[in-house]
Structure 1
Amino acid sequence: MNLTPENLIREHWARQPEARSEADKALLIEEIRQLLRQEDAVIVAHYYTDPEIQALAEETGGCVADSLEMARFGHDHPASTLLVAGVRFMGETAKILSPEKRILMPTLEATCSLDIGCPVESFSEFCDQHPDRTVVVYANTSAAVKARADWVVTSSIALDVVNHIKEQGQKLIWAPDKHLGSYVERETGADMLLWDSACIVHDEFRAKGVEDLKKVYPDAAILVHPESPEAVVKLADVVGSTSQLIAAARDLPNDTLIVATDKAIFYKMQQAATGKLLIEAPTAGNGATCRSCAHCPWMAMNALDNIRDVLKSGDQEILIDESVRQKAVVSLQRMLNFNKPVTAA
């Protein structure tokens, strides 16, 4: 088989077990609990993993968060093993920051379209062509790309970091998400060269679909992740990272919210916004014709079965060349140590 991302995903879904009974699921969860204790492990899960994984992470003393808080939690937690439920760059980030810890993932096949779309060889060549520019990369990149960067950012701090760099009189290279990069460029006015890549989930949201939905729910607030196309972002009442959108859902007075990001966020968003109606923003396709249908297919590769299996076998471990790690940790620590400039009220 040609191992394109789409074929890897199809192959994965073809191997999925049939739905189990609630009793069997309870037994599986208890087995995972025991293995976590046995292996001195904790689950660090992203908001985009399936709700049953997020619930298990919460119930076992782990973390459900965006990629920035996942990195911080994993670094600070005393467990010797981190089970990272997410996509590969998240596991790599954990290993870069905590080299002494064993980093396991339910599957090493779970990657990211942004990571795939920014191979280190071509990206390094692009950077070499513009040596006068500060290189800023999104967290959704490989360890090797982070090693080539001056800064790593997440969507929650991208505006603050880029404003800081702009104030130093510096021009930027931004990679890999063109939509997030374009949003940051518009908001900050920074001089930025943008890499051309996109998230397959957010790239599918369309302004017309959101506008049509708003006509049905005129009192709804529109919440949009900035990895979405510009036309969708312009419709938003709130633009923000996953954690920022969850906070907005809690704080906004609206009882109905149209949400343009991965629908797995609804697990934590509903906890924060109890009683509010959460509606998925429409994607470009319908049913089988869409590539993601508002849920990352690689995030969906995380499952209770492979969490149990990797805790037993330990064979899905993240390993990074030490020379790459030492370079990548510089740009990551710069992100973690960044303090938002204090401005007068």
Structure 2
Amino acid sequence: MNEINETLLSAEAIRKTIEVPAHPIKPPITTEEKEALKSRIKKLMREQDAVLVAHYYTDGDIQELAEESGGCVADSLEMARFGTTAKEQTLVVAGVSFMGETSKILNPEKRVLMPDLRATCSLDIGCPADVFGAFCDAHPDHTVVVYANTSAAVKARADWMVTSGIALPIVEHLKAQGEKILWAPDRHLGHYIEKVTGVEMLLWQGSCVVHEEFKSVALERIRRLHPDAAVLVHPESPEHVTDQADVVGSTTKLIEAVATMDQKKFIVATDDGIFWKMKQVAPDKILISAPTAGEGATCESCAHCPWMAMNSLQNIEAMLQNPGPQHEINIDESIRERAMLPIRRMLDFADSHGISGKYQGNA
């Protein structure tokens, strides 16, 4: 137990040293300029046999471009799956680095480009492969389950990869098999899964800088101001926030809730990039950002990931104009082969259980 505590204290220390970048300042752009910019990007993508894969947390302009150009807007589960079926030989991934890596792991024959390779994730940074590998080595009797928000090297140490949309059924499956589980890296998502499934897991002490900013007391106040609103919370949020939710779930589940629930008003505790898709599927609904201010607030993220914010229409165009090694994802083949196994296991499970990472309703 002392060894476990020492390792998890080390993970906690790593988490606390993560430097969060300032949100990039994006110059204003007119509607006419934006449409011209999108038109140029579409032309460049056609010329390079490229398709755009965007996460729900990227700017709405990027999500709009992806849909208009035949690409994909989804959570990390469907982003991973999309690249394997796309006919294009170049995948432009608008998101953060682990998403580009996952695309490359599954599609080694394709070129995978990202607008800014510095766009990472606090969960990824907070789970270095060497420290995590030592933790796994110390507990060889545990099945290793890692969240998608990890590096290829960490995935290479795992038995399963999961996203928030599929974590619960996979952990339930492992529970039924009598497996002992080592979970990484998000401690809040891991704790939520423990509560729902009744499975006790060894939890790595990582966290998301966006979701950890949501404040319990401030959320209680805004709920009193809007008693008719449903509260939607991503499970990367702290327990005192998820405990107040009407719906806890992945990005796809939260989008579906806005589209299908009877309420007209929603308080949303996740990255506000998701509002673009929510407004698209339910234009008559009122969306309120859950508060990040309050006692103890640092507002490092202010409900939008600073690394996701490194994606823009402007740097997608610049990348396609000069698509060199400064934008291309490459992974050591020995790591890629090992990392593919837990990802493939997840995708096969999703296929066999009909689980999707993309909202299937009418947009």
Structures share fold, TM-score greater than 0.5: yes
Alignment equivalent of 2:331, drawn from 320, 324, 328: 320
Distance in 2 between residues matched to 1:180 and 1:52, nearest whole Å: 29
Q: Aligned pair 1:175/2:184, yes or no?
A: yes
- Listed as ranges, the matches of 1:1-345 within 5 Å are 6=19, 9-10=21-22, 13=24, 16=25, 18-284=27-293, 289-315=298-324, 316-339=327-350
Deviates more, 1:303-312 or 1:288-297: 288-297
Aligned amino acid, residue 244 of structure 1: K
Aligned amino acid, residue 307 of structure 2: W
**Runs of 4 or more off by more than 4 Å in structure 1?**
339-342
Does the CA contact (< 8 Å) of 1:44 and 1:62 recur in 2? yes
Q: Give structure 2 stretches of 5+ with no counterpart.
A: 1-16, 355-363
Q: Give structure 1 stretches of 5+ with no counterpart.
A: none
Distance in 2 between residues matched to 1:19 and 1:220, nearest whole Å: 32
SS in 1 for 2:183: strand
Shift in Å, 1:244:
0.5
Deviates more, 1:309-318 or 1:59-68: 309-318
Distance in 1 between residues matched to 2:26 and 2:148, nearest whole Å: 32
Shift in Å, 1:26:
2.4
Shift in Å, 1:332:
0.3
Identity of aligned residues (%): 60
Aligned amino acid, residue 330 of structure 1: L
| 1:115-146 Cα shifts (integer Å, max 9, x gaps) | 00000000000111111000000000000000
Does the CA contact (< 8 Å) of 1:285 and 1:293 recur in 2? no
Distance in 1 between residues matched to 2:62 and 2:294, nearest whole Å: 27
SS in 1 for 2:328: coil
| 1:186-219 Cα shifts (integer Å, max 9, x gaps) | 1111130000010000001111111111101101
Shift in Å, 1:52:
0.5
Deviates more, 1:19-28 or 1:193-202: 19-28
Does the CA contact (< 8 Å) of 2:142 and 2:180 recur in 1? yes
Number of residue pairs the alignment of both structures matches: 334
Distance in 2 between residues matched to 1:262 and 1:253, nearest whole Å: 23
| RMSD (CA atoms) | 1.7
Task: Indicate how the Cα distance of structure 1 residues 285 and 38 shifts in structure 2: closer, same or farther if over 3 A, else same.
Answer: farther
Aligned amino acid, residue 38 of structure 1: E
Distance in 1 between residues matched to 2:135 and 2:92, nearest whole Å: 34
Distance in 1 between residues matched to 2:298 and 2:52, nearest whole Å: 33
Distance in 2 between residues matched to 1:5 and 1:122, nearest whole Å: 15
Distance in 2 between residues matched to 1:197 and 1:128, nearest whole Å: 19
Does the CA contact (< 8 Å) of 2:213 and 2:298 recur in 1? no
SS in 1 for 2:343: helix
Does the CA contact (< 8 Å) of 1:36 and 1:42 recur in 2? yes
Shift in Å, 1:23:
2.9
Shift in Å, 1:6:
3.8
Aligned amino acid, residue 52 of structure 1: D
SS in 2 for 1:338: helix
SS in 2 for 1:148: coil
Distance in 1 between residues matched to 2:192 and 2:215, nearest whole Å: 16
SS in 2 for 1:64: strand
Does the CA contact (< 8 Å) of 2:186 and 2:205 recur in 1? yes
Aligned amino acid, residue 331 of structure 2: I
Distance in 1 between residues matched to 2:236 and 2:259, nearest whole Å: 21
